[in-house]
């Protein structure tokens, strides 16, 4: 895809010869496979879990997520997904809600 076509389509990914280390890092983590690989790594996952569990005093935030799924009101064969995330910490509070329709 040419640079002009990428800009016209809204694709903000830079050309490979223009990518910085930051671009490579975020591109790598934007793919599903790396997250699946990390979660399947039991040693890594258990180490993270144990570190959090044994250092509870360092974590003074809470994160709450709600995921709901229902039939679409206009077409019951379609599904509506609603995701609501609440994050409350010492420095900031964030609430985000998104709704998606699967046709």
Pair (98, 64) in one structural domain: yes
Tell me how far apart the alpha carbons of residues 67 and 86 are, in angstroms, rounded to a whole number.
12
- Which residues make Cβ contacts (< 8 Å) with residue 94, sequence separation at least 6? 85, 86, 87, 88
Q: Give the C-alpha distances (Å, rounded to integers) separating 48 from 9, 83, 101.
A: 39, 25, 34
Q: Residue 9's pLDDT is what?
A: 45
Give the tens place of pLDDT for each residue, 55-64.
888 777 777 7
List the 79-88 sheet strands across, edge first.
Answer: 62-71, 79-88, 93-102
Residue 10 lies in a domain: no
Single pTM value for the model: 0.38
Helix axes 21-29, 32-40, angle to 10 degrees: 70
Pair (98, 65) in one structural domain: yes
Residue 3 lies in a domain: no
- pLDDT of 43 strictly over 90: yes
**79 φ, ψ to 5°?**
-120, 145
- pLDDT of 36 strictly over 60: yes
Q: Range of 74's domain? A: 60-102
Q: How many CA atoms lie within 13 A of 23 on its CB side?
A: 9
Going by pLDDT thresholds of 50, 70 and 90, the confidence category of residue 1 is very low
Task: Give the number of domains in the chain.
Answer: 2
* Average pLDDT estimate for 5-15: 59
Pair (51, 65) in one structural domain: no
């Amino acid at each position: 895809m040419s640079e002009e076509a990428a800009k016209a389509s809204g694709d903000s990914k830079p050309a490979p010869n223009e990518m910085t280390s930051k671009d490579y890092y975020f591109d790598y983590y934007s793919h599903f496979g790396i997250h699946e690989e990390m979660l399947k790594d039991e040693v890594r996952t258990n180490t993270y879990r144990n570190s959090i569990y044994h250092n509870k005093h360092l974590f003074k935030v809470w994160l709450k997520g709600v995921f709901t799924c229902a039939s679409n009101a206009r077409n019951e064969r379609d599904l509506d997904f609603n995701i609501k995330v609440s994050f409350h910490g010492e420095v900031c509070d964030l609430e985000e809600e998104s709704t998606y329709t699967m046709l």
